[in-house]
Structure formats: structure tokens, C-alpha cells
Structure 1
């Protein structure tokens, strides 16, 4: 247990470089929003100003501009409904329930976004229960929310996280999982071990979450570049990650089919030949080269050369059904990863050894 806790602690420390800038944005932005609301706008209790910064900036991989718009409108709606109803019916438990229900219902009818609806309800709670009868009216609170939103954008622009770090870290997770899956499948073929093939398949089933996280990270990185003038020079490097996103996803899907067929092949009279394991490892290494070259900001020429060598290989002879399926999936994976390096689909497909030639002899 102690070793596990130490390992988890090290992993958290290893990822702090990604989360740290967002924490700084939240802390500095919240303090600045409070100062602006108190000293420039004259609001004695600007609760919504720092809250708006926290929700706007956050530490996740969301669409921050859209989140900000939903925050400001949601706060305005919640404050408006809350102020109106509290002035009519007063405050108390049943009034609180009624105010929340009405605010969230109106919000849902206007926009089904969970953030929009929950923010409207949260704002209504604050108006109905925490600050009833306060000197500052609903308009002041709406201005506080707007102030916090503007300061949040400024914090993202002036204290930006590194979009390349965010995108690169998530792509590394995807390609690491892909490489591990192929390595396990290669070992299963060499040893004729169904348990190893099953482990590879289980690894493959977990990869879709990593792909979804990478897609979200790309969206976040693009938004940082769009908002922050300090990160605009990263557009060209981020474009390489964008180019790789869909092909890598397709390669993973094909790899899952390959591993599933590898497991099925363990019980066949003609299991896959050991020569296939070497091909799997070459593709696995090419994926790691792609990861390294994109992370270093280089054109992925080494990865492309490695994949071209795999594509040009002739198919082993006298294969069983499952081995033929594995070869077909490897060919598809090679095309996918070549596209991830920047090649067009037709150009990548043309690099494959024609099946009729590979079957001669």
C-alpha cells in the first residue's frame, strides 16, 4: 500500500506542470477580480467576481469561452429569477426549493447545457439564502459576474498554460497505450500465450478514454492559442497534433481488431507465425518515434521512414485465416500512422506492397 501511495504521489507531481498554470490563473484572477469589483466598481461584497473567475478558468480541458458565456448568462438568469421571487415570497426552505426549481427550469428551456442550468440554480440559491436583503441589487451581482469573466479571459491570455504540453502529454498517453498493446500481442504470438493476448485486448479496451481525453486536450490547446497572444507562435506545432488526431484514433481501432483476432488465433490449428511478432514490434516502435518527434517539434520523418519500411514488407507465406486478418489490420494501421505523420491517404495507401505481389512464390 505504501509503495502504491508513493507511486501515485509521484504521478501527481509529474503532472503538476500541466495543472500548475491553471491554478495560478485561478488564484491571481480571483484576487484581481475582487480588487476590481471592490475598488473600481465600489461593490462591498463582490461574491460573484472571484467565483466567475474560478468557473471560467477551472483546471480542466473545456471550451473556456463558451463556458464563460454560459456562466455570465446563467448567473444573470439565476440572480434575476432569485431577486424577483424573493421580493415577492420572501426566503425560507420552501421558497428556496421553488426558486431553484423555477430558475433551473427556465435555464433548461433556454439552453440544455449542464453548466448553464447548474449555474442558474446555484446563483438563485445565493440570492435566495446567502445574501437576502443585501444592499447590492441583482444588477451589481451581474456586473460582478461579468467582471470575473473578463478577468478570467485576461488570466488565460496573460498566464497561459502551454498548449503543446497539454496536447503532447495526452497524445503520449494514447501512443503509449497503442505501443503497449502491440508489444503484448507480439509476445503472445511468440509464446502462443492466450493470457497475454487477453491482456493486450484488455489494454486496448481502455484506449478509447485516452483518445477522448486527447481530443478534449486539443480543443483546450486551440482555445489557449486563440485567446493568448503569448502562445500564437505554437500554432504550427499544434497543427501537427491536429493532423495526427484522427489517424491515431483509427489506428487504435484497427489495433483493437488486430488484438482480438490474435486472441482468437491462439486456439487455431495454424496460429500466426513468429515473423508477425517482428512486424508488430516495428509498428509499435514507429508509434513511439512519432510520439518523440511530435513532442520535440520536429517533422516526423523517422517515424514515417519506419512505417514505410513496414508497408514495403512482403507478407509471410502460408498463413491461416487469423494471420491473414492480422496482416490486413497491420496494413491499415500503417496507412493510418503514415497519415498521422502528414501523408495523404492515397499516398500512404500507395506505399503498401500489393497483395498479389506479396502472395507470389
Structure 2
């Protein structure tokens, strides 16, 4: 019988470990936020002379946030939406004073305008929060539009921080890439086991796991897109543009490879019997080895020629007439589904598609 207290301790330990991991992963973003919000406060307080620069602080924090996607466009859109809400609130205060209907009008106009300007559903809420603060707080000594000036300061500081204090987006992109490759490698390794043992029930389970890779590819893409966007304005990341461009090519083709891996898994789950298939197992094992090396090439691009060489040696064997001679169509269909998978992996390693296609044997003759 299990010990309830031991189980609770294990859950607490797991929760604490997860909390430490989250804090560590967010440390660059936290440091960026602390520096940016301090700069915004100092500028509004001592340069503009605003005694309570609350808006400068909140706009900076909300524009940057702790999310993975800290690309300049998103930061700018958030800052503009909040500034619009503040300006509307200031105008209504100046023209009609404070009151219940004025507050309701401010919320209505802010939400409608922010929603019209951006497809992001959370953005109107952020803008409305800022507008509500301005609408409900007393007008500061400097006049109603001092808070608009604070909002502009906060937005500019947030935008400058993405260029001058980047969160090392390459590290986030690398982390998401390795998460994807770990899942991809686990699936391919399981398929090798399925083929060596002839276990269709395992193939069905692997297919369900393969379907879960889509979220990982989307997270990898988001982190890479953010890194590329920041590298366009950051002097510290400009030299990494080509590296990031190469990783975007890899990500796009690995997305395609993950889709084709699901096709392979589906083919295996529908085979007629549980017979071991060692020739197919060897081919898939070679794919697994090359994919593992491709993951390592994220940190060591010099490995990519070896990846291409390994995949070409696999590609030239992918002819059903020689790999599975005399076998039923179901066997040949597995070989045929491996061809586009290898093609995508070759493209992910940097080989032009036309050259990759030439590596596959012609099965039309």
C-alpha cells in the first residue's frame, strides 16, 4: 500500500523542481524587465518630472511581458494599443469629466478600437486595463496628458529593450528545437522496435504520440520567428542572422518530416500481421541515427555534411523492388512513405530539394 505522505512529498518536490526550472528559464526575461522598468521610471520621474509615473511602469511591463514571443512587432503593437486606451481615457476625462457613464464609454471605445486594430484577443483587455487606471485615478498635477507621455516613454523603453537588452532568443529557439527532436527521435526509435518485433499494437500507440508533435513544431517556429525579428534590430544578434535563417529552413522541413512520420506510423499500424521486418527496421534505424546527428548539428553545423551523407546512403536503398522484393503492397507502401520523410530530412540538413530528389532511386522505370 502506498504511503500518502510520501506521495505528497513527491508532488511537492516535483512542483518545486518545476518552479525552479521555470524561474531559471525566465531569468533573462526577468532581468530585461527589471532593467527596462527601472529605466522607464527614471526617465518619467526625473526627466519629465512626473511624481507618480505609474503608467510608464505598467506600459513597459505589459509590452515586454514574460512570454516567449518578445519580437519587436508584438511589443510595439501592445504599447500602441495601451497608449490608444490611455489617450481615449484622457480625452473623455478632459471633455466630460469623471463618472460612471464616462468610464463605461472609455471601456467601450477602447475595447472596440483595440479589437479592430489587432487580431490578438488579449490585446484589447490589456489596453482596457490601462484606460481604466487612467479613468479612475485623479488627474495628476501636470495635467491630463502627462500619463500619455508616460505611456510613450514606457513603449519606447520596451521597444529599445528588445534591441539593446535581448533575451538571447537563440537559446529559447535551441531549447524548443531540442524538445522537438527528442520527441521525434523517440517516435522513430519506437518504430524501429515495431519493425524488429512486428508489434502492431505498439505502432498504434506510436501513431498517437506522433500526432502530438505538431504543438512542438509550432512552439519551435514561434521561438525562431521571434529570434529572427529581434535580430533585425539588435546590433548584438545581427551577426547570427544567417545561422537563424538556416535554422528556419531546418524547422520548416522538420515540420514536413513530422507530418510524414505520422504517415509512416499509420502505414505500420495497418500492416496485415505481426511479422518482423528486419530490412525495413534497418532503414528506419539509419533514419533515426541521421536525425539524432541532425539535432546535434544545431550546436555543431559542421555535422550537417555527415548528416546529408548518411541520409543519401539510406535514400538510395528506398526502392520497394529491392528493399522488399516479392512482398505485398502493404510492405511497399511503407517504403514509399519513407521516401518523402528522407527527402524532408535531407532538406532540413541544408541540401537543395532538387538534389535531394535525385538521391532517391527512380521507381517509375
Superposition TM-score, scaled by structure 2 size:
0.88
How far is the alpha carbon of 1:177 from its aligned partner?
1.4
Residues 195/11 of structure 1: CA separation in 2 closer, same or farther (3 Å cut): farther
SS in 1 for 2:69: coil
Output aligned runs, 1:32-181, within 5 Å: 32-62=39-69, 64-87=71-94, 88=96, 90-92=98-100, 95-129=102-136, 131-181=137-187
1:111 and 1:297 map into 2 onto residues whose CA distance is 38
Name the structure 1 match of 2:228.
222
Mind listing any 5+ residue stretches in structure 1 that lack a counterpart? none
Superposition TM-score, scaled by structure 1 size:
0.89
Question: CA deviation digits over 1:312-358, x for unaligned, max 9?
Answer: 2252222333322221121111110101111111100111123368x
2:291 and 2:91 map into 1 onto residues whose CA distance is 59
Name the structure 2 match of 1:338.
346
CA contact (8 A) 2:40 2:57 kept: yes
- The yes-or-no answer on 1:317 pairing with 2:321 is no
2:70 and 2:35 map into 1 onto residues whose CA distance is 20
Name the structure 1 match of 2:216.
210
> Greater CA deviation, 248-257 or 13-22?
13-22
CA contact (8 A) 1:254 1:329 kept: yes
> Greater CA deviation, 132-141 or 243-252?
132-141
CA contact (8 A) 1:107 1:116 kept: yes
How far is the alpha carbon of 1:280 from its aligned partner?
1.3
CA contact (8 A) 2:177 2:220 kept: yes
> Greater CA deviation, 55-64 or 218-227?
55-64
2:273 and 2:72 map into 1 onto residues whose CA distance is 58
CA contact (8 A) 1:63 1:219 kept: no
> Greater CA deviation, 256-265 or 288-297?
288-297
Which of 282, 287, 293 pairs up with 1:283?
287
2:195 and 2:48 map into 1 onto residues whose CA distance is 70
Moved over 3 A (4+): 1-18, 84-87, 94-98, 109-113, 269-272
CA RMSD after TM alignment: 2.4
How far is the alpha carbon of 1:42 from its aligned partner?
0.5
Mind listing any 5+ residue stretches in structure 2 that lack a counterpart? 1-6
> Greater CA deviation, 99-108 or 195-204?
99-108
Name the structure 2 match of 1:260.
266
How far is the alpha carbon of 1:38 from its aligned partner?
0.1
SS in 1 for 2:302: coil
CA contact (8 A) 1:179 1:287 kept: yes
Name the structure 2 match of 1:243.
249
In the comparison of the two structures, how many residue pairs are matched?
Answer: 353
CA contact (8 A) 2:90 2:145 kept: no
Residues 158/175 of structure 1: CA separation in 2 closer, same or farther (3 Å cut): same
1:68 and 1:163 map into 2 onto residues whose CA distance is 15
SS in 1 for 2:323: coil
